[in-house]
């Protein structure tokens, strides 16, 4: 249908269809319309509503309109026969008309500003076009709490909006896992294992039949996939290349025979990606592969760029902007995002870190929903243990410390058996060179426990 038809149809709805008028009115603007008569009608309609706080009837508008030809056109619009059209189809079509018109207005405006040597037109065109492309008639006006008891009860008991980490100690602290529309960060020093943690959590999500998207700007796609493979196949990373092609393919087929989920990893150069690129990636995966992730890992937020290439002045402002944009995408898509930040020099080799140890921007801490600080002494590294401190938590208590097992050869993070965690916590200052029977039992128990769990879950043949 021609754009002019939709303009005329919108005008008809404003006077005849109350439900359609109430849907369209909040977004009504004469810049949407090309036809001269239509622009005059909309201008008069909006002026009347503004002055009298009421919608005009066609008869009332006749008194306002100065040009008889404009009123004659209004009568033509009112006589459009819509009986053959489904109401939902009409509103969807008008919504698409608005979206295309807004996008076209953005392009025309940018071209005009560029002709006037307004270079700022380039820096904000991407965000403006994104807003236009995402336009919709949002008919929701929020939660009506007084009449939503049943809805609230279901929300309180709905586990679908949480992706468990697969680590009992972590899930207990953050209400069952990472939540939809949230940004979770792990704060650690260089070479502490930020990527290992994210790969471990990504594998745990896969084992729970969650679709996982992993965006990497630090390591290659194949290096990330290699770590996931070592974990899933329960093979040490150094031994992975030693198995035959036939063995590898057989194990790979066994894994995905039992899984309903999928894993996609996308590589960008360091400082070569921003939130808009990830947003576009989500759309491309949905259209081309029918893939919608349940959780997204970004490795990592500290080496991203803001959406706008315009310099923000300093790294603090830039990182705050990046974190806000990434969390905005989490809210927009309804998907939990997990990333990491690096500590500043004050957090290096520190037994306990806090939010002031975050590198580049303390503003990031105000944006994230959950922040874990990750530390590890030399003795804990030998034991295969991280200490994780819940520095920020929108869903419950913070400043809580727990222990998480780490299996470096298989790129895995896992639960620490309770009895050994308690024993270790009772002796926080013991010398590094003491390795007693309990320590050895802990290491053996972590390895055997996870191996049994993986075999049972995937039924792999080893």
Instruction: Give domain limits for the chain.
Output: 3-133, 162-458
Can you tell me whether residue 85 is helix, strand or coil? coil
Q: What are phi and psi of 267, to 5 degrees?
A: -100, 135
The answer to whether the beta carbons of residues 350 and 396 sit under 8 Å apart is no
Range of weakest confidence among 209-218, 377-386, 417-426: 417-426
- Using the predicted structure, report yes or no on whether residue 307 has a pLDDT greater than 80: yes
Range of weakest confidence among 127-136, 168-177, 238-247, 364-373: 127-136
Angle between helices 194-207 and 221-233 (to 10 degrees): 60
Range 3-133: architecture per CATH: Orthogonal Bundle (1.10)
Work out the mean pLDDT of the chain and round it to a whole number.
82
CATH superfamily membership of 162-458: P-loop containing nucleotide triphosphate hydrolases (3.40.50.300)
Range of weakest confidence among 272-281, 337-346, 365-374: 337-346
Could you tell me the pTM of the whole model? 0.66
Q: What is the DSSP string of 89-127?
A: HHHHHHHHHHHHHHHHHHHHHHHHHHHTT-THHHHHHHH
Sign of CA dihedral 199, 204, 205, 211: positive
Residues 6+ apart with CB under 8 A from 26: none
pLDDT digits (tens, 9 = 90+) for 187-236: 988 888 999 999 999 999 999 999 999 999 989 999 999 999 999 999 99
Report the pLDDT value the prediction gives residue 64, as an integer from 0 to 100: 83
Report the pLDDT value the prediction gives residue 457, as an integer from 0 to 100: 42
Residues 6+ apart with CB under 8 A from 277: 268
Mean pLDDT, range 97-121, rounded to an integer: 83
Report the pLDDT value the prediction gives residue 365, as an integer from 0 to 100: 78
Q: Which two tokens stand for residue 231?
A: 């974990």
CA pair distance 323, 65, nearest whole angstrom: 50
- Using the predicted structure, report yes or no on whether residue 451 has a pLDDT greater than 50: no
Residues of the chain above pLDDT 70, percent: 81
CA pair distance 114, 108, nearest whole angstrom: 10
């Amino acid at each position: 249908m021609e754009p002019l038809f939709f303009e005329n149809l919108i005008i008809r709805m404003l006077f005849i269809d109350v439900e359609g008028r109430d849907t369209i009115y909040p977004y009504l603007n004469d810049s949407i319309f090309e036809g001269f008569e239509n622009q005059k009608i909309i201008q008069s309609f909006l002026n009347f509503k503004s002055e009298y706080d009421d919608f005009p009837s066609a008869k009332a508008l006749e008194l306002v309109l100065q040009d008889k030809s404009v009123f004659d056109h209004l009568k033509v619009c009112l006589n459009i026969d819509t009986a053959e059209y489904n109401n939902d189809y009409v509103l969807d079509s008008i919504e698409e008309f608005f979206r295309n018109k807004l996008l076209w207005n953005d392009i025309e405006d940018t071209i005009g500003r560029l002709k006037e040597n307004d270079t700022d037109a380039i820096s904000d065109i991407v965000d403006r076009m994104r807003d236009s492309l995402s336009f919709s008639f949002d008919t929701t006006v929020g939660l009506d709490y007084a009449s939503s008891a049943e809805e609230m009860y279901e929300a309180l008991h709905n586990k679908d909006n949480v992706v468990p980490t697969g680590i009992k100690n972590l899930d207990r602290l953050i209400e069952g896992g990472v939540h939809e529309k949230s940004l979770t960060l792990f704060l650690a020093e260089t070479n502490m294992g930020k990527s290992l943690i994210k790969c471990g959590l990504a594998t745990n999500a896969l084992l729970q039949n969650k679709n996982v998207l992993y965006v990497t700007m630090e390591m290659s796609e194949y290096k990330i996939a290699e770590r996931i493979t070592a974990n899933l196949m329960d093979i040490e990373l150094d031994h992975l290349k030693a198995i035959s092609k036939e063995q590898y393919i057989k194990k790979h087929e066994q894994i995905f025979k039992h899984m309903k989920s999928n894993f996609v990893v996308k590589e960008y150069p360091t400082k070569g990606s921003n939130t808009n690129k990830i947003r576009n990636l989500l759309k491309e995966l949905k259209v081309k592969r029918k893939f919608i992730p349940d959780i997204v890992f970004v490795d990592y937020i500290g080496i991203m760029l803001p959406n706008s290439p315009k310099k923000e002045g300093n790294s603090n402002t830039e990182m705050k902007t990046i974190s806000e944009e990434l969390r905005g995408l989490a809210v927009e898509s309804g998907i939990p995002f997990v990333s990491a930040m690096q500590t500043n020099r004050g957090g290096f080799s520190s037994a306990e870190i806090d939010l002031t140890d975050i590198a580049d921007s303390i503003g990031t801490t105000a944006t994230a929903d959950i922040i874990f600080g990750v530390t590890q002494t030399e003795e804990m590294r030998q034991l295969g243990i991280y200490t994780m401190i819940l520095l920020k938590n929108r869903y419950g208590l913070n400043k809580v410390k727990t222990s998480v097992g780490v299996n470096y050869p298989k790129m895995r993070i896992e639960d620490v058996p309770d009895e050994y965690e308690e024993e270790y916590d009772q002796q926080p200052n013991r010398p590094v060179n003491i390795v007693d029977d309990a320590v050895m039992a802990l290491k053996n128990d972590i390895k055997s426990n996870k191996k049994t769990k993986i075999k049972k879950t995937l039924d792999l043949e080893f």
